[in-house]
Amino acid sequence: MVETSSPSSRRRFLSRIWIGLGIVALLQFSAGAVAFLTSGRKRADKYTPRLLEAGAIGDFPLGSVTLIGKGHLYLTRLDDGGFLAISRKCTHLGCAVPWIAERKQFECPCHASIFDMTGNVIKAPAPRALDLFSITIEHDTVIIDINKRIKRSTFTAEQLIYPQELG
Amino acid sequence: MSSNLLLHFRPRRVPEDALRFTLTWGLGGMAALMVVQQLVTGLLLGFLYEPLPVLAFESVQHIQNNVFLGRLVRNMHHWTGHVLIVVVFLHLLRVFLNGAFCPPRQRNWLVGLGLAVTVLMANFSGYLLPWDQLSYWAVTIATSMLEYVPLIGTFLQEIIRGGVEVEAATLQLFYSIHTTIVPVSLLLLMAYHFWFVRRADGVLVAGRERTAFMDKQKSVPASELLVREVALAAVVTCFLLLFSMFVDAPLGDMANPQLTPETVKAPWYFLGAQELLLHVHPVIAVCVLPLFIALFLIFLPFGKKKAGKPGALVKTLFIAGVIFLLGLTVTGIWFRGPGMKLVWPW
């Protein structure tokens, strides 16, 4: 880099080193500050299950949608007995979506997106179906993991969870 | 000493043709005045406000109902915050149309853009603080728009919310931004902004040749300017004070994450983006277009070699953009009712 011996070029070289060091120091400081601000936070990607007992299978009649208030979600039971735990959060801009029983659909108050019982989009602007939560059924009790949010573009039959065959 | 410092910002004499009101409409001065007012009222509110969910809402209620002049101070802080955004926008428009962004003022244009962003940040971070339904859901919607940014959307959203949802951490984050980063940046950038104006020999007067030293005949003592500024400041202060005496700042029910109200809108200055989100692909509305606008504004002064009004193409593009965004914003504010259905505002 230092090809000439004139003092001005040496000075320029040194001052460039200072500037470079300054930038490195600034980057280090910024990285440290970002880590300081973010490391202590509850994070979405640090996954620990948080299980919520929704209730016994018998509490949810076929073809019903029940609000599970604590987890901000709905438990849908389809006519064939399959369960879906559907998030309340609209996929458009995050409003809480109420279930309108008389029309059997979710209607978002913010931008009038409409979803059917399975969370599928009936009317835009919502870009994709409502998120799901993971469900397990143990001893005829529906258990929802409210920390395990499953994003999906549309409803498919594989998402349904069925109770074990009654013996 | 103090007069020496002052002379970095203000000259002893000012050119007579720079006094004309319609040259600047006093918009920059108005904005500066309002920032100072916000600092004063904000400082007062800060002594009584508590940045925690539930307590935040209750402390705002307490300020409104039990504190001497509390309602007035909060009203002023609220309304001035909104008027400030309008004034800053008009100031930007004026500077553009006068061609005052051209060299040698190109760096001050950038400082001004920084100030505009800081003012928006000030208003948005303040929006959440009352912790009522209006503020909670407006911030939820506005930060949800970030989710549509490709690749880093969710990451950005989590940074701004300080978590996954709008919650206690968000309130604390917004409060510290609102009361530390915002006022310090505003004061520093303003000092820089004024100093740059001074260095360019005051405001731009179109058609006048820039001279190395002021012509005694055409200049008047700076007190001539000062008396005009004080008069305008008095008028503006009176207007804001009277408005705040008669119109209360809104305070709805306390924030309830379980219940979205009938009509939810982002803060009005983001309603253009929200409106656009209903019509075009989300990536265009929240990513491509804002980025394009930002780059256009940043590189605006560097396309020109010397002073003069903006060229026909740039001017057309700019004005078309302004009309487009204004149209969207007006639709979003007044023509959208519950469920974002189109309604008449009357």
Render pLDDT for A77-94 as a digit per residue (tens, 0 to 9). Answer: 888 888 888 998 888 888
Given A42, A72, A107, which is nearest B163 (Cβ)?
A42
The whole-model pTM stands at 0.84
Given B141, B169, B278, which is nearest A41 (Cβ)?
B169
Token duo for residue A122: 């009936």
Assess whether the previous peptide bond of B104 is cis (omega < 30° from 0): yes
Interface contact B259-A41, CB threshold 8 A: no
* ipTM exceeding the 0.85 mark: no
Secondary structure (DSSP) of chain A: ------HHHHHHHHHHHHHHHHHHHHHHHHHHHHHHHHHTS--SSS----EEEEEEGGGS-TTEEEEEGGGTEEEEE-TTS-EEEEESB-TTT-PBPPEETTTTEEE-TTT--EE-TTS-EEETT--SPPPEEEEEEETTEEEEEEEEEE--SS--GGG-B-PPPP-
Find chain B residues with C-beta within 8 A of A33's C-beta.
none
User: pLDDT tens digits for A29-76?
Assistant: 999 988 887 777 655 556 777 788 878 877 888 888 888 876 688 988
Q: What number of H helices and E strands is found in chain B?
A: 15, 2
Counting every residue written for chain A, the total comes to 167
- For chain B, how far is it from start to end, CA to CA, in angstroms? 58
pLDDT at residue B55 tops 90: yes
Interface contact A41-B264, CB threshold 8 A: no
Chain mean pLDDT for chain B: 88
Q: In whole angstroms, how far apart are CA A62 and each of A57, A105, A161, A163, B201? A: 10, 16, 13, 12, 79
Helix axes B70-98, B55-66, angle to 10 degrees: 100
